[in-house]
A and B are shown apart, each in its own frame.
Chain A
Amino acid sequence: DSGVTQTPKHLITATGQRVTLRCSPRSGDLSVYWYQQSLDQGLQFLIQYYNGEERAKGNILERFSAQQFPDLHSELNLSSLELGDSALYFCASSSSGTQYFGPGTRLTVT
């Protein structure tokens, strides 16, 4: 158990819909990272937050947004969903460089 929690574990929704994925980092970790894993693209970095502020952006679509709250939990919002957004979404947290990953949320868009 990495200490990082993610909810929900599975999510099935229709195209055009909007969903919110939630991540609670390990106790004391200020950084939260979001990744997307799909069969064709592999594991791709989306975005990083540090103590509530956006720190780095990767291959994140404009339809996607994230935030980190004062209690350090983070949410990833995915809107206008497309079939190609079906993937595993991971969050990770760190305090000293090493990133510890949560169990992921499997999103299926039908």
Chain B
Amino acid sequence: SQELEQSPQSLIVQEGKNLTINCTSSKTLYGLYWYKQKYGEGLIFLMMLQKGGEEKSHEKITAKLDEKKQQSSLHITASQPSHAGIYLCGAASGGSNYKLTFGKGTLLTVNP
């Protein structure tokens, strides 16, 4: 079964700093999703990447997919306290069922 490893597990940054979260898959990536979760709450969809080399941005968050490395990175520029939360990557299993396997998550704390 597919496994996703996220690094780092947790991250503390000062407001205004840039940061990167990585997600590496044990198998071929057919689609990679990034979600954000506030503790104990639902997941908020951020971005979906499907093609190798694809890069998407939403406000100050950019995600890239490196198909060859079976890896995706999420980059936040000029972090703000509102960026704090748990970032989860999820990978589609391929085929038509779209069930997602998730990484353990990266806990981001942004200090003002």
Could you tell me which A residues sit within 8 Å of B by CB distance?
2, 4, 31, 33, 42-45, 48, 55-56, 58, 88, 90, 92, 94, 97-104, 106
Contacts and interface: CB of A to CB of B under 8 A. Distances in A.
B98 A103 contact: no
A43 B33 CA distance: 14
A45 B101 contact: yes
Could you tell me the dominant secondary structure of chain A's interface residues?
Answer: strand
B88 A97 contact: no
Given A43-B102, A58-B99, A97 B92 contact: yes
A11 to B, nearest CB: 14
A56 to B, nearest CB: 4
B97 A42 contact: no
A104 B41 contact: yes
B112 interface: no
B78 interface: no
A97 B102 contact: no
B43 interface: yes
A2 B102 contact: no
Nearest to A57: B99
A104 B42 contact: yes
A83 B16 CA distance: 43
Contacts of B35: 101
Contacts of A103: 41-42
A94 to B, nearest CB: 7
Interface in B5-38: 31, 33, 35
7 contacts: A31-B98, A44-B102, A48-B97, A90-B43, A97-B48, A98-B48, A104-B42
B42 A90 contact: yes
A45 B100 contact: yes
B83 interface: no
Contact of B45 (A45, A55, A88, A98): A98
